[in-house]
Amino acid sequence: MAETPTLVLAGAEEAPLRSLAAYREAGGYLQLERARAMTPQAVTQELIDSNLRGRGGAFFPTGRKASFIPSPDKVARPIYVAVNADESEPGTFKDREIMLRVPHRLIEGCLIAAHAVQSKRVYIYIRGEYLAEYESVQAALDEAREAGILGDVEIVIHRGAGAYICGEETALLESLEGKRGQPRSKPPFPAISGVYSSPTLINNVETITTMPKVLELGGEEYAKLGAPPDSTGTRIFCLSGNVARPGAYELPHGVTVRHLIEEIGGGVPGGRTLKAVMMGGSSFPVMTPEDLDTPLDATSLGRKGYFIGSGVVTVIDDRACMVQFALRAGQFYMHESCGKCTPCRVGTRWLVQLLRAIERGEASERDLELVLDVCDRMIGKCLCVLGDSDAMIVASCVTKFRDEFRAHVEHGGCPFGHDSQLDGLYAPVDQHAHAPAAEAEALV
């Protein structure tokens, strides 16, 4: 396993691989040439054989998704490829690393994907806040176009304008169509009716950028890397929080959480101990220390009720008040709820109100049950997974750190006082005058 090479970030380990000349020297665009010499079906078959799965969080088999796209002779409408570069899951910064360090590999992946589904038009939807990343990809795209690499495929970069929900694939398509970014009800799925009611293949940046390497190795060889059969290949893990060496580390699936945090990340600094891990992103249950030896692959994590998500591993040390942590996570979902469906629009607010009351010591034991009850009424009942995400992380904090929550009730306030590193936390919902749930105090 130690021998697994860097794939997605290959050639950019030391310095970014930005120019076309440098990328070509590292073997860039050779796989596109090979792909174009193959039939679209053969390219899709390589993706199927590799068992590459979506790196955005849903882990859906990429090759199968591509195979759902009808062939052009069967549909009257054009076929589109949409690249999800709306990276906004708290703790995630891998797509940003890709766009800054190997932008041409992303472009090459786009063109390979376009060939696989016989599309002539690719949209890259980049989150609005990513300015340097947009400039990096735009520069690579201009260079590739100038060099005639695009052929008859057009790639358009579409910038978002600040909305986490647009990372949800159907909300992204709505936003791309010039609308408010509110998710659609599914089915139909994007493969049948995506952007402009046309068949659309939509993939995350890391997924797309892996495609040239799948072709280079061959699908079957790629499938041997990582933790087969389900979690093949590598993953750019996003290590952050209370850890000595945070960073984006591309590693094979299957290394343990402990290995990533302790060996690669240098462990928890300052002589503190680990209390919890935000595993996969803030949209999933938090991990407790007894599960640190779990391998980072979807199957092993799934067995213990965790998710690999977008590869997030955020370390929380023992100073943290987990009520504050749950509250801050909840405030994010309240801020980002699009308001289209009731369980999410209302539920995210209720959770913030309740968690704030618990943190202030103004809640009773019954309110802890009420939090779980609200979570229960959100999970599986929202239009998209945003509401479920909020409910999952909050419920996991209450369930796994029940004593801490209870201590707030008994104490009549936060037992951690100012010792928690999250003390005094502030959230964007606090600065909106129209957010009655916020009840924020002025900062000093």
Partner 1 sequence: MSAPDVRSLYDEIQAVRTRYPEGTRSAVLPALRLAQERYGWLSREAIEEVAEALELTPAYCYSVASFYDMFHLEPVGRHTIEVCTNVCCALVNAQAVLSAFVRELGIQPGETTPDGEVTLRAVECLGGCSTPTIVAVDHRYRQSVAPEDVPAIVEELRNG
What residues line the site for partner 1 (CB under 8 A)? 87-93, 95-96, 127-132, 156, 158-164, 175-182, 196, 238-242, 246-248, 278, 282, 314-317, 320, 325, 328-329, 332, 335-336, 338, 421-428, 430-432, 442-444
The C-alpha torsion from 234 through 192 and 177 to 112, rounded to 10°, is: 40
Minimum CB distance to partner 1 smaller for 366 or for 434? 434
Helix (H, G, I), strand (E, B) or coil at 70: coil
The minimum distance between CB 230 and partner 1, in angstroms, equals 27
Minimum CB distance to partner 1 smaller for 184 or for 213? 184
Task: Tell me if 125 sits within 8 A of 86, measured CB to CB.
Answer: yes
The minimum distance between CB 37 and partner 1, in angstroms, equals 30
The minimum distance between CB 263 and partner 1, in angstroms, equals 17
Here the tokens at position 272 are 């503190």
The minimum distance between CB 192 and partner 1, in angstroms, equals 18
For 36-101, give the DSSP string.
Answer: HHS-HHHHHHHHHHHT-B-TTTT--BHHHHHHTSPPGGG-SSPPEEEEEE---STT--HHHHHHHH
Minimum CB distance to partner 1 smaller for 50 or for 234? 234
Distance CA 250, CA 322 (A): 29
Minimum CB distance to partner 1 smaller for 79 or for 215? 79
The minimum distance between CB 219 and partner 1, in angstroms, equals 31
Here the tokens at position 443 are 């900062």
Residue type, 157: I
The minimum distance between CB 153 and partner 1, in angstroms, equals 14
Distance CA 241, CA 93 (A): 13
Distance CA 99, CA 129 (A): 13
The minimum distance between CB 163 and partner 1, in angstroms, equals 5
Bridge partners of 312?
Answer: 238
Minimum CB distance to partner 1 smaller for 297 or for 336? 336
Q: DSSP letter for 442, please.
A: P
Minimum CB distance to partner 1 smaller for 75 or for 161? 161
Distance CA 35, CA 40 (A): 8
Minimum CB distance to partner 1 smaller for 212 or for 387? 387
Distance CA 192, CA 213 (A): 27
Distance CA 116, CA 137 (A): 22
Query: 247: which residues sit within 8 A by CB, 6+ positions away?
Result: 239, 265
